[in-house]
Structure 1
Amino acid sequence: MVPDQGDEWEVDPATTEDQWQERALCAQTDPEAFFPEKGGSTREAKRICLGCEVRDECLDYALAHDERFGIWGGLSERERRRLKRGII
Structure 2
Amino acid sequence: MSDPTRLPGAFEHRWSWQFEGACRTVDSSVFFHPANERGAAAQQRERLAKEVCARCPVLARCRQYALDVGEPYGVWGGLTEDERRRLIAAATP
Q: TM-score range by the shorter chain?
A: 0.7 to 0.9
Relative to total residues, which structure has the larger strand share, 1 or 2?
Answer: 1
TM-score (norm. length: structure 2): 0.74
CA distance in 1, matches of 2:70, 2:24: 20
Q: Give the structure with higher Rg (CA).
A: 1
Relative to total residues, which structure has the larger helix share, 1 or 2?
Answer: 2
TM-score (norm. length: structure 1): 0.78
Displaced runs of 4 or more, over 3 A: none
Q: Percent identity?
A: 37
Question: Which of residues 47, 72, 77 in structure 2 aligns to 1:73?
Answer: 77
> How many angstroms does 1:17 deviate by?
0.3
Q: Report the aligned-residue RMSD.
A: 1.5
Amino acid at match of 2:58: V
CA distance in 2, matches of 1:22, 1:61: 14
1:35 is aligned to 2:39 = no
| Larger relative contact order (Cα-Cα within 8 Å, sequence gap ≥ 6) | 2
